[in-house]
Amino acid sequence: MFPKDTSIIVQEFLKTACETTKKFEKKYILFFDETPVWFDMPRNSTLDFRGVREVRIRTTGNDKLRFTVVLGFTASGHKLPPMVIFKLKKVPKRVYPRDIIVAATTSGSINGDLMLSTYISKVIRARLDGFFKTKGVIFVDCHGSHIHDDVIKALNTEDLEVIKIPSGTTSVLQPPDVSVNKPFKISYELVCKWVSEVWKEIGQDLLIKSFDVTGLTLNPNGSEDLKMSSRLQAIVENRLEDAIVEESSEDEPIEDEEINCDGSDEEINIDKFIKEISNSGFDGETSNDEIDERNSDTNLMNKLDFSISYARFY
């Protein structure tokens, strides 16, 4: 549900944002955000014989254990090194891929200290011409760790102008993130390798399009407004009911540690971008013996693999 003044807020924000982004080449326009990934993300459906009254559900026991992946990229499609944050006191001593940053926090998510000590120095500076502190612009949501005064100052020191996405509008203004979901039970080093490989597979066109559908890099004269997502167009045109109808077809929003940019304490729910693509491996002609075999914990764990979910544009 959008507030009544959402249309005005979005229009004013896009006008300001586009006037700013048109001053920079797209390779100097950045965005980053984090997404939680659970070690076990069980499906919402089960398979059994018709007429069975009770269906036993087995999990790996890791459905409440998670880590965080922070992904950053530019409006030109250039990818920043991904960062993986484990819910630990310190990073396990393992051999990790060189192209990702591995960190640990007691919460398993990013915080202000990690932003200052690691993300800005090792990831933001890895942007194109970042070593020379080339001027650019970076979009951030209202997550507390993103808009802390010290973080803003540090980003400004990197010659980056910070633009805050208004609270409650991330579902239409924040470039979609990439998530990787499927049940797995795996070692820390392999998780990092997995994230590294998936991030490499994400197409440049998808990253570029994510800035277009959120309207952040379009021509401020309105000539490119058709590139916006249908939901964002509805909000800009003050057709909030149409935007809400489309929103209702999505997954339920998940709670995040976002705070209002206006300083109020009202809790904000961020719309869930993660759309899971299931790959059960069931071909429709499985024999009873094979079904029994798949119900075995041992065989189930042996059959676990990876799948890639791409953010869906609206």
Residue from 166, 188, 216, 198 nearest 311 by CA: 198
* Total domain count, the chain: 1
Position 222 in a domain: yes
Question: Would 117 be classed as within a structural domain?
Answer: no
pLDDT of residue 57: 56
The string of DSSP codes covering the chain is ---TTHHHHHHHHHHHHHHHHTTS-GGGEEEEEEEEEES----S-----TT-S-------S-TT-EEEEEEEEETT-PBPPPEEEEESSS-------TTSEEEEESSSS--HHHIIIIIIIIIGGGSTTGGGT--EEEEE-SBTTTS-HHHHHHHHHTTEEEEEPPTT-HHHHSPPPPB--------HHHHHHHHHHHHHHS-HHHHHHHHHHTTTTS-TTTTTGGGS-HHHHHHHTT-HHHHHHHHHTSPPPEE--B--TTS-----EEPP-----------S---HHHHHHHTSHHHHHHH-----BPPPP-
Assess if residue 160 is contained within a domain. Answer: yes
- The rounded Cα 49 to chain-centroid distance in angstroms is 37
| Per-residue pLDDT at 39 | 60
The confidence score (pLDDT) of residue 53 equals: 65
61 belongs to a structural domain: no
Residue range of the domain that includes 141: 6-29+131-280+290-303
Q: What is the pLDDT of residue 180?
A: 32
**Of 165, 175, 162, which Cα lies nearest the Cα of 228?**
175
Q: What pLDDT score was predicted for residue 187?
A: 54
- Sequence length of the chain is 314
Q: Report yes or no on 58 lying in a domain.
A: no
Q: Is residue 86 part of a domain?
A: no
Residue 134 exposed, middle or buried by CB count within 10 Å (0-12, 13-18, 19+): middle
Whole-angstrom distance, CA of residue 284 vs CA of residue 304: 19
pLDDT at res. 67: 86
Assigned domain for 118 exists:
no
Residue 104 lies in a domain: no
Q: Encode the chain (314 residues) as per-residue pLDDT tens digits.
A: 677 889 999 999 999 999 999 999 999 999 998 887 766 545 555 555 566 666 565 554 444 567 888 889 999 999 999 999 999 999 988 888 899 999 999 999 999 999 999 999 999 998 888 777 889 999 998 888 898 999 999 999 999 999 999 888 877 887 743 333 333 334 567 777 878 888 888 899 999 999 999 999 999 998 999 999 999 999 999 888 888 765 555 444 334 444 455 544 333 333 333 333 333 333 333 344 433 433 433 333 333 333 333 333 33
